[in-house]
Amino acid sequence: MQQGLPLDEMLLGTFERSKGLIAANDTPKVSRLRDAAMEIFRECRFPDSAHEKWRNTPIESLTEEDFVQQLSPSQADKNLEEMFRCEVHNFDTEIVSMLNGWYYDKKSDLRTLPDGVVVGSIGAAMKAYPELFETYYGEIAPYALNGFTAINTAMAQDGVFILVPDGVKANKTIQIIKMIDLEENLFVQNRNLIILGRNSELSLMHCDDSINQHCSLVNTVSEFVVGENAQLKLYKLQNLNDQSGLVNSTFIRQEANSNVKTNTLTFNCGLIRNCVQVMLNGPGAHADVLGLYLMDKQQHVDNQIRIDHNAPNCTSNELFKGILDDQASAVFNGYIHVARNAQKTNAYQNNNNILLKPTARINTKPFLEIYADDVKCSHGATVGQLDQEAMFYIRSRGISEANARLLLMYAFASDIISNISIEALRQRIDDMVKKRLRGELSVCEKCVLHCGSPEKEYHFDIDYSKL
Amino acid sequence: MLLNIKNLHVAINGKEIIRGLNLGVNKGEIHAIMGPNGTGKSTLAAAITGRDGYEVTAGEIWYKDRNIVGMSAEERANEGIFLSFQYPVEIPGVSMTNFMRTAINAQREHRGLASIPAGEFLKMMEEKKKLVEIHDKLTNRSVNEGFSGGEKKKNEIFQMAMLEPTLAILDETDSGLDIDALKVVAKGVNQLKTDDNAFIVITHYQRLLDLIVPDFVHVLFDGRIIKSGGKNLALELEEKGYEWIKQEHLV
């Protein structure tokens, strides 16, 4: 680590000096990609708000901070077992822990679960499955997309590898808990590769949390290969402190008749940039790309969603909803690209926002680019306040103004929550949303699921289970 | 007196709509308020129920011996004032059941009571649904979402039955109702009427007053009550229109 230099210079220097250490586990392809991506990064550096695609996201507020980077895992001085313990009632997950960007498992860094699913660190997986890395690594995430994907491809050392073999239906939801806890400003890069074979099924939670109050910048790139007729459910829960930044880029490639549902739930963070790119490459594939963001104070969230309809008879459904309070701001860029041969495409895109204060801001831009002639595409965006007619109607029944606001905000968020098909998780997220809307959660103490300390239930005196 | 409105003046955006209105309502009474469009009937309802933006510029509204001007809409509701809306609002995402339970519990909290037990609440729902012949499927849906005009009005009466108000204001509950739905609504109101509560029925038409028989009929014109009488006044209005009262008033 080296302090005092700008982040990009520090990274360039570290790469020169420590490439051997960084690339210790690499397959030849991964190593080649590092060099190629570093050349790109040397040219383009980190984006800033002068770039069109970053215009409304002040990312330089983070990239200009001083950070340290860890080239090897630090010694854990805390009881990590306790820290990552997860006790959600009726929800038994297979936990994968990452501390400060490093895969953490006392027993092994690559394990095969009883149902045949392989889970481990990306470094260990490179050694065990070099052929999979030669085939897939870097094929789904374009490293030249921007400085963040480039520097991740060049320098990421750890992350999660999951392989769901053909025909295997993962018994348990796999839960990646990524926690940041360091008494210094930390720059973390993770790289995940998740492969679903034909006819396989996986539910995955990806929780980003911080338990410190220091600034961190997490730059994650995840590649998903979803085989023919496979089903993936991906829940991303984002809950970091107000000083921190998260650049989360998710690239998903879908083969024929596969079905993907992603749900990005943004509860807290100083600045978040989510990029979700779905490539519908096989006929009959379907993707639901959903998201909910609840931001306040000076927080900022930017969702960049791109769906590529590259094959005929595919369907996609994009819905992002947000509630912004105080001086919070958000960006939504939805982009649907329909290739010439992607006939019978059915694509829907929508972004709805509620601004609770005049100081909150949203920049929303739905965009369609269509080259096929037999398609059904629609898009829309709304920005509004809480409906005053509805407010009076609710209050005229004796419900307090505060509860009336909660009811309306919750109602607004409910169609994203109701899409969560795992019952125990839905109830948990439901509680978190209610808690967040009450303004009681600014930084989650441990992981968002409150490992180790079951939190009390939250009520507005309403049983929402029947909504 | 349950409700005693004295020299009430109400303005919206600085424009005075109610201009010196007096009205007294005792328990056990039904009052009808009639009058041409745009004379302030709905404004009066909004002022009594405490809607934001309806500014009481002068006068007093005494209810249960307290001047409620300045009291929040929810507190008035919890003190037993209910408004059946002319245009009930659709609230997607909030189910009828939970909406009602929240309202009932808010009322109970106001009265220092514990939340209603689930079993008791469901029993109450069943009972009151029968009263207005409301379908089960409606209470499982979001509040008023996709309800027909008739269903929305029945739903207002259902809510009234659940909340058991002391003073209920029915703002053009008959508008948009066919005769069958009108009968159901009227039957509901008549069953809810006791010696301890009172109704203010705002309407344009005699036909509702055939079914909900008022003790008093008032004609509202230009922000004031210009004529009051018994139920026969409504019949006279049905026959002769408002013109003769306006003339009488202007003289």
Among A395, A412, A466, the residue with its CB nearest the CB of B98 is A466
Question: CA separation (Å) from A338 to A295, A303, A335, A365, A373?
Answer: 32, 20, 10, 17, 10
Q: Does B10 touch chain A (CB under 8 A)?
A: no
- Which DSSP state fits A91? B
Residues in A closer than 8 angstroms to B73, CB to CB, are: 392, 395-396
Interchain proximity A398–B92, CB inside 8 Å: no
The reply to whether residue A394 touches residue B91, judged by beta carbons under 8 angstroms, is yes
Of the listed ranges A208-212, A320-324, B84-88, B239-243, the one predicted with least confidence: A208-212
Residue from B94, B147, B155, B156 to probe the interface with A (highest A Cβ count within 10 Å): B94
Q: In the predicted model, what is the mean pLDDT of residues B123-138?
A: 85
Decide: B12 and B197 in contact? Cβ < 8 Å.
no
pLDDT of A424 reads 84
Chains A, B: CB contacts within 8 A come to 90
For A123-160, the DSSP string reads HHHHHH-HHHHHHHTTTSS-TTSSHHHHHHHHH--B-E
Cβ separation B74–A467 shorter than 8 A: no
pLDDT of residue B224: 95
Residue B78, chain A, CB below 8 Å: the answer is yes
> Which pLDDT does position B138 carry in this prediction?
76
Distance from CA of A188 to the nearest CA of B (A): 39
Q: How far is B46 from chain A (nearest CA, A)?
A: 10
Residue listed under structure tokens 């009076």: A392
Amino acid A444: pLDDT: 40
Cβ distance of A462 and B51 shorter than 8 Å: no
A398 to chain B: closest CA residue: B74
A399/B51 touch (CB, cutoff 8 Å), yes or no: no
Phi, psi at residue A423, to the nearest 5°? -55, -50
Burial class (CB in 10 A: 0-12, 13-18, 19+), B36: middle
The tens place of each residue's pLDDT in chain A, 467 residues long, gives 445 789 999 999 999 999 999 999 999 999 999 999 999 999 999 999 899 999 999 999 999 989 999 998 876 656 666 666 555 556 788 989 898 999 988 678 999 999 999 999 999 999 999 999 999 999 999 999 899 999 999 999 999 999 999 999 999 999 998 888 888 899 999 999 999 999 999 999 998 877 778 899 999 999 999 999 999 999 999 988 888 999 999 999 999 999 999 999 998 899 999 999 999 999 999 999 999 999 999 999 999 999 999 999 999 999 999 999 999 999 999 999 999 999 999 999 999 999 999 999 999 998 999 999 999 999 999 999 999 999 999 999 999 998 898 889 988 998 899 889 888 888 888 877 887 787 654 334 433 333 333 333 444 444 333 33
**Which of A392, A396, A461 is facing B102, going by the closest CB pair?**
A461
Angle between helix A147-155 and helix A28-44 axes, rounded to 10 deg: 140
CA nearest to A463 within chain B: B98
DSSP 3-state of B168? strand
Of A396, A407, A467, the CB nearest to B49: A396
Average pLDDT rounded to a whole number, residues B135-158: 88
Percentage of chain B with pLDDT > 70? Answer: 100
**pLDDT, tens digit, for every residue of B208-225?**
999 999 999 999 999 999
Out of B83, B102, B159, name the one closest to residue A403 (CB).
B102
Nearest-by-Cβ selection for B77 from A389, A398, A467: A398
Query: What's the confidence (pLDDT) of residue A79?
Result: 61
Check: CB of residue A171 under 8 Å from CB of residue A114.
yes
Over pLDDT 90: what percentage of chain B? 75
The kind and range of the H/E element at A272 are strand A271-280
Average pLDDT over chain B, rounded to whole? 93
C-beta atoms of A411 and B101 within 8 A: no
Chain B residues with beta carbon closer than 8 angstroms to that of A415: 93
Residue type, A51: H
CA pair distance B61, B57, nearest whole angstrom: 12
- The answer to whether B84 faces chain A, any CB pair under 8 Å, is no
Model confidence, pTM: 0.84
The residue of chain B nearest to residue A417, with distances taken between CA atoms, is: B93
Region B154-165 average pLDDT: 96
State how far residue B222 is from chain A, nearest Cα, in angstroms.
25
Name residue A41's amino acid. Answer: F
From the candidates B89, B100, B109, B116, which should be mutated to test the interface with A, based on the most A CB atoms within 10 A?
B89
Which candidate from A387, A398, A466 shows the least CB-CB separation from B106? A398
Quick check: B83 contacting A, CB < 8 Å?
yes
For chain A, say whether B42 makes contact (Cβ under 8 Å): no
Mean pLDDT of B229-246: 89
Higher pLDDT, B50 or A95: B50
Q: What is the pLDDT of residues B61-75, one digit of tens each?
A: 999 999 999 999 999
* Chain centroid to CA A22: 24
Query: Can you give the pLDDT at residue B12?
Result: 96
Interface contact B106-A400, CB threshold 8 A: yes
Task: For residue A179, give how far its alpha carbon lies from the nearest alpha carbon of chain B (Å).
Answer: 34
CA distance B90 to chain A (A): 7
The angle that helices A388-395 and A401-417 make with each other, rounded to 10 degrees, is 120
Residues of B in contact with A401 (CB under 8 A): 72, 74
* Rounded Cα–Cα distance for residues A88 and B11 (Å): 54
What is the pairing mode between strands B66-67 and B54-63? antiparallel
Residue B116 touches partner A, C-beta closer than 8 Å = no
CB contact under 8 A, A411 and B94: yes
CB-CB: which of B50, B88, B94 is closest to A407?
B94
Q: Among positive and negative, which fits the CA dihedral A306, A256, A350, A447?
A: negative
Asked if the C-beta of B155 comes within 8 angstroms of chain A's C-beta atoms, the answer is no
Considering the segment(s) B3-92+148-250 as one domain, its CATH architecture is: 3-Layer(aba) Sandwich (3.40)
Q: Identify which of B73, B92, B110 has the shortest CB distance to residue A395.
A: B73
